Amino acid sequence: MDIRKEITQLKAEKNAIILAHNYCLPEVQDIADFVGDSLALAIKASETDAEVIVFCGVRFMAEGAKIVNPEKTVLMPEPDALCPMASMCSPDQIISIRSGNPDAAVVGYVNSTAAAKTEMDICCTSANAVNVVDSLPQDVVIFVPDANLGAYVQSKLPAKRIIFWDGYCPTHQAITPAMVRNLKEVHPQAEVLMHPECRPQALELADFIGSTAGILERARSSSAQEFIIGTERGIIHRLRQENPAKEFYDFEVAICPMMKMTDLTSILDCLRHERTKVVLDESVAKRARTSLDRMLQLKG
């Protein structure tokens, strides 16, 4: 039987939903029930009636789905798909930085482990980081782990004092200001849409900065016909699908190998054998849920 048909059949038998991030392989995005940015995926995971969630993306996303659905089966077709940024800040490091700044709130990017989330006051994604920090009564905020996203939030909220951690995304860090300048020279009419995980000096060259969902929305609504896309290349699939008459240029270096691990074969295998289940320590999941729930309640 055709692999796509078999996946669809097994999905129906098991009352499963397939969630995929905007960076996944094109064929994975096409078979998914829902494709989105980290925030939309977390919301979708918290609202679904499906009994089984198949998460195509990286581990912190699948862990997030399990944290908000402790009673459901959450499967990862590729359990070794780990976001390198997520391991750049440990719970102990958060405890230590908090002890030096006892009045500060700790805001943690969802690109972090479940254990690190237990030490955060509230989570954020790239879509809502500015709103999350702005919503807090504290003037001083410890922002972990992404220094670039933290710097972007600081630029939008000068009244807050942000204490940064030194985490980063290797994929977005690879896009240098010189690369952006060069591509702008080749395509002077193009609008530059960038992700806030990029370096601040590269973001200075952007016309628009947003999450992957924000970039997709901007490309749809803009009157421009050409775009330079400063984020992981997987997003180009949806950009072209949704805007067939527009041109998109991206950066060869901007590939996240972890986001490319999941393919149709691993999804089929995952549904057939119900593996690999995301299993979290109960007390860790419970404590991590507080910071995730606070973010989801903000909805912005």
Residues of the shown chain interacting with ligand SF4 in the complex, contacts defined by CB under 6 A: 58, 83-85, 111, 169-172, 197, 232, 256, 258-259
Q: Please list the residues that pair with 49 across neighbouring strands.
A: none
CB atoms within 10 A of CB 287: 18
Given phi > 0 = left and psi -120 to 50 = alpha, else beta, which region is 138? beta
Type of residue at 130 = V
Q: Which residues, listed in sequence order, are joined to residue 209 by a DSSP beta bridge?
A: 194
Return the one option of ligand 13P, ligand SF4, none that residue 125 interacts with (CB less than 5 to 8 A, by type). ligand 13P
Query: Which of ligand SF4, ligand 13P, none has residue 258 at its interface (CB below 5 to 8 Å by kind)?
Result: ligand SF4
Amino acid (1-letter code) at residue 231: T
Residues in contact with 243: Cβ distance below 8 Å, sequence separation at least 6, in sequence order: 219, 220
How many Cα atoms within 13 Å fall on the side-chain side of residue 133? 31
Quick one: what does residue 84 bind among ligand 13P, ligand SF4, none, with the CB cut-off 5 to 8 Å set by partner type?
ligand SF4
Of the candidate spans 9-17, 48-56, 87-95, 119-127, the one that interacts with ligand 13P by CB under 6 A turns out to be 119-127
Residue 272: other Cβ atoms inside 10 A: 12
Q: Which is nearer to ligand 13P, 105 or 258 (CB)?
A: 258
Residue number with CB closer to ligand 13P (10 or 129): 129
Q: Strand 16-21's sheet: what is its strand order? A: 34-36, 16-21, 52-56, 73-75
Part in contact with ligand 13P (CB under 6 A); list of ranges 36-44, 98-106, 201-209, 276-284: 36-44
Q: Near ligand 13P by CB under 6 A, which window of 5-13, 37-45, 112-120, 133-141?
A: 37-45
Nearer to ligand 13P, 91 or 196 (CB): 196
| Cα–Cα dist 57/76, whole Å | 8
Q: What is the pattern of x (binds ligand 13P, CB under 6 A) and - over residues 99-118? A: ------------x-------
| Member of 69, 112, 118, 126 binding ligand 13P (CB under 6 A) | 126
Strand order in the sheet with 105-109: 122-124, 105-109, 140-144, 161-164
211 binds, among ligand SF4, ligand 13P, none (CB under 5 to 8 A by kind): ligand 13P
Examine residue 78 and tell whether it contacts ligand 13P (CB under 6 A).
no
Cβ–Cβ contacts within 10 Å for residue 158, how many?
A: 7
Q: Which is nearer to ligand SF4, 7 or 76 (CB)?
A: 76
Burial class (CB in 10 A: 0-12, 13-18, 19+), 59: buried
Number of residues that bind ligand 13P (CB under 6 A): 14
Q: Does 37 bind ligand 13P (CB under 6 A)?
A: yes
State yes or no: residue 291 binds ligand 13P (CB under 6 A): no
Q: Of 10 and 164, which CB lies nearer to ligand SF4 in the complex structure?
A: 164
Which parts of this chain interact with ligand 13P (CB under 6 A)?
22, 37-39, 83, 111, 125-127, 169, 195, 197, 211-212
